[in-house]
Amino acid sequence: MARQLDEQIAGRFPVGQRLRVLDVGMGQGTQALRLARAGHSVTGLESDASMLAAARESLATEPEGIRERVRLIEGDGRETGVHFLPGSFDVVLCHGVLMYVEEPDPMLAGLARMLAPGGLLSLLVRNADALAMRPGLAGDFGGALAAFDTATYTNRLGLSGRADRLDTLRGTLAGIAAPLHAWYGVRVFTDNVDNDVELPAGEMERVLALEDRAGRTDPYRGVAALLHLCGVRG
């Protein structure tokens, strides 16, 4: 997904421009720190105190030049208007958050308002059109059949989440003046592979190349576990 995000940033903004980035629900700060290392000014918003503490610990190990480009705030992504003025950011990230928001439309509208004209909104959501894939490929055929009739699922941690459909989000983004510009699939072939699985030397690059190719190729991207959507503020 980082490759996809970098591709969209490179295609939209001049090379070398220091962007103002808001990472909503940043978790441990993986993307926030990566973008700060690339020279951008990053604000991370996170409501989970333990995640925020982990992000602060990671930030503390970075050189001073990177630390001064990052601002971390404890707060809810549904209340961006409390913390920031409209149009304050060039890029807004919201990765792996919407699946835990019961009513996503108001939150998405708030995120779009944070963007300056021409700004990029990057969303990572669970793909409701592919919920049967994980249980089906794992041999849980009853679970796969049930998945056709729901937009909810249970993740590896046992937490319930809500999935989104591409066509629905396409309409939502158009309605909040940040129409869909590009979309990718994420985890087409590797959704059932545990994160801690160790691969043979050199195999990781092949896996990344495979996922990158599939994530931008039909029909594969349509059955990915996750969707990466990029909208552009009009």
Q: What is the predicted pLDDT for the residue at 158?
A: 80
Residue 88 pLDDT class (50, 70, 90 cuts): very high
pLDDT tens-place string over residues 3-42: 999 999 999 999 999 999 999 999 999 999 999 999 999 9
Q: What is the predicted pLDDT for the residue at 206?
A: 92
Show the tokens assigned to 192.
Answer: 């059932």
What is this structure's pTM? 0.94
Q: What is the predicted pLDDT for the residue at 200?
A: 80
Q: What is the predicted pLDDT for the residue at 201?
A: 75
Residue 53 half-sphere exposure, CB side, CA atoms within 13 Å? 3
Please provide the average confidence, as pLDDT, over all residues in the chain.
Answer: 95
Q: What is the predicted pLDDT for the residue at 2?
A: 92
Residue 224 pLDDT class (50, 70, 90 cuts): very high
Are 56 and 48 in contact by the 8 Å Cβ rule? The answer is: no
158 burial via Cβ count (<10 Å: 0-12, 13-18, 19+)? exposed
Torsional class of 158: left (φ above 0), alpha (ψ -120 to 50), beta (otherwise): left
pLDDT at 234 over 90: no
pLDDT tens-place string over residues 126-140: 999 999 999 999 999
pLDDT tens-place string over residues 101-160: 989 999 999 999 999 999 999 999 999 999 999 999 999 999 999 999 999 998 877 888
Q: What is the predicted pLDDT for the residue at 155?
A: 81
Q: Kindly state the percentage of the chain with pLDDT values over 70.
A: 100
Show the tokens assigned to 111.
Answer: 């995120």
75 burial via Cβ count (<10 Å: 0-12, 13-18, 19+)? middle
